[in-house]
Amino acid sequence: MARMAMMVSCVVMTCMVVAAPYAEAVVTCAEVAANLEPCLGYLINGGAVPPTCCTGIQALKASATTTVARQATCNCVQSTVGSSFGINFALAAGLPGMCGVNLPFSISANIACS
């Protein structure tokens, strides 16, 4: 009985090790919104970009490492920014550059996430 449990454990562990490189990181819209939240004051009122905003933009880039993750992140940015009233999209488009980050998509009213 113990030997069978050990064999099952070994098979499960082997599957986990083999499958790990193929697992896609799931980006949630809650994470994206939390990363963008420090930027909202700037995106509505202008002024100085808060350092915490740039930290959030860097986190967005770090989470968008695969095609699936980039599309998920982009879709979440689109819904987060699109649902926030008063966003100055000229400021939004320039925000990644202000933070020294090159996102794989633009922040605009018409984001193309495909």
Tens-place pLDDT, residues 90-101: 999 999 999 999
Domains and CATH numbers, the chain: 27-98 (1.10.110.10)
Residues 6+ away with beta carbon under 8 Å from 24: 66, 68, 69
pLDDT-derived band at 25 (thresholds 50, 70, 90) equals low
Closest CA relative to residue 76, chosen from 88, 59, 98: 59
Is pTM beyond 0.85? Reply is no
